[in-house]
């Protein structure tokens, strides 16, 4: 089964400004910085434990565990590439594909708005 994900390319004025705006908005998005380099920022959102305790039918979309990659390609200084994908470590997304797709899309939209 293919990973559930949403990808978007966002025009920006500069990578440095986009990074600063993104970092300042992390708390408002309930996102946590996982890794950071000059070319990429990895973010996590949601909770593996909450998903297991509540189950897919009862968990809010914003609490589903997702992983976001925000890429700052030096060859494309006027754009940022964002990919948000489901991040189920153990288990399956069976029966939750639509809910997971909405969670990925919503988080991608929040990230796109933050870097603009």
Predicted local distance difference test score (pLDDT) of residue 32: 96
Report in angstroms the alpha-carbon separations of 83 from 9, 95, 101, 102. Answer: 9, 22, 12, 13
Quick: pLDDT tens for 42-54. 999 999 888 888 8
Region 86-112: what's the mean pLDDT? 90
pLDDT band at 1 (very low <50, low <70, confident <90, very high): low
pTM: 0.92
């Amino acid at each position: 089964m293919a990973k559930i994900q949403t990808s978007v390319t966002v025009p920006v004025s500069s990578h440095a400004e986009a990074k600063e705006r993104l970092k300042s908005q992390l708390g408002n998005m309930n996102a946590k910085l996982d890794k950071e380099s000059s070319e990429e920022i990895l973010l996590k959102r949601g909770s593996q434990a909450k998903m297991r305790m509540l189950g897919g039918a009862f968990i809010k979309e914003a609490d589903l565990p997702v992983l976001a990659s925000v890429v700052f390609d030096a060859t494309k200084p006027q754009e940022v590439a964002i990919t948000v994908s489901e991040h189920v470590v153990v288990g399956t997304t069976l029966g939750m594909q639509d809910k997971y797709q909405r969670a990925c899309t919503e988080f991608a939209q929040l990230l796109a708005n933050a870097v603009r």
